Amino acid sequence: MIDPDRALRLDGRVALITGATRGIGRAIAEAYAAAGAGICVLARKPAELEETETALRALGAPVVTIAGSAGDPEVITTAVDRCVTELGRLDVLVNNAATNPTFGPIIETEPRAVRKVLEVNVEGPLLLAQAAWRAWMAEHGGSIVNVVSTGGIRPAPFIGVYNASKAALLHMTKQLALELAPGVRVNALAPGLVRTKFARALWGVDEAAVASRHPMKRIGAPDDIAAAALLLASDASSFMTGEVIVLDGGMLLA
């Protein structure tokens, strides 16, 4: 029988979260820390990492931080090695970091921008999953959570390369779920429009008008995504793998 007081706890577990110094990644890190997990944060900016470490330690979490790109193979190896060495294990991997250096029609996108998007949004998550599997999960099990996007489900103007990368990550989620079961569960979150700095260009001009087009009459908040990420990392979702949870305020219905 499920114990409702324990189902969403992560006591004794360790999570590696990319892009966890702000926005969705930060909210996920805080939710996991509050649920009892140790946290390893991989992000680019040392000052933001320092502030994040202080905040997570205030929640009682042991913390390790690594500065670098989530698309850099050497940084990925270092992050996984330090996570296992310094925190003792690696039970949950959250591939949250993403980039989108281009805005406009996909047919006009420069090849260099395409390569950068694929490096961070597709290759990076795969390399992290491979490293986590070799270092810990193959023997001990675990959970991988990929943050994709509703843009990976339905096309939208101006962010076509980003959307294509998220479609690839969505399919990779299902492929890895098939290959790594039963020891490792792999699921994805597909946020719609969320109030983050990364997405400000899509909501910042007239948030009220944008919100009114959502059936839920608001855009998302990082905590909306973090709550679902906690579910996927916890025993409450122990029979779930290869699934994509859409968190978009109903926009795919509209």
Q: What is the pLDDT of residues 139-180, one digit of tens each?
A: 999 999 999 999 999 998 899 999 999 999 999 999 999 999
Report the predicted TM-score, pTM, of the whole model to 2 decimal places: 0.96
| Mean pLDDT score, 89-96 | 98
Stronger pLDDT, 121 or 1, i.e. the higher one? 121
Selecting among 32, 136, 162, 203, the annotated active-site residue is 162
Query: What's the pLDDT band for 14 if we cut at 50, 70, 90?
Result: very high
Of 90, 65, 72, 75, give the one whose Cα is nearest residue 12: 90
| Mean pLDDT score, 173-199 | 94
Q: What is the mean pLDDT of the chain?
A: 95
Of 53-57, 106-110, 196-200, 224-228, which gets the smallest average pLDDT?
A: 196-200
pLDDT at 254: 85
| Mean pLDDT score, 29-49 | 98
| Mean pLDDT score, 1-22 | 92
What's the residue count for the chain? 254
For 69, phi then psi, to 5°, come to -85, 140
Query: What's the pLDDT band for 212 if we cut at 50, 70, 90?
Result: confident
pLDDT at 5: 78
What percent of the chain stands above pLDDT 70?
99
pLDDT at 209: 81
User: Within the chain, what is the greatest distance between any pair of CA atoms?
Assistant: 55
pLDDT at 203: 65
pLDDT at 182 over 70: yes
What is the secondary structure of 86-145 as a DSSP string? HHS---EEEE--------B-GGG--HHHHHHHHIIIIIHHHHHHHHHIIIIIHHH-EEEE
pLDDT at 34 over 80: yes
Using alpha carbons, list the distances in angstroms from residue 20 to 10, 16, 43, 119, 228: 17, 9, 7, 18, 16
Q: CA-to-CA distance for 153 and 174, rounded, in angstroms?
A: 14
CB 39 within 8 A of CB 151: no
pLDDT at 205: 76
Query: What's the pLDDT band for 100 if we cut at 50, 70, 90?
Result: very high
pLDDT at 210 over 90: no
Delineate the domains of the chain, giving CATH numbers in brackets: 14-253 (3.40.50.720)
CA angle 221–16–248, rounded 5-degree value: 25
Q: Is position 162 annotated as part of the catalytic site?
A: yes
pLDDT at 127 over 70: yes
3-state secondary structure of 222: helix
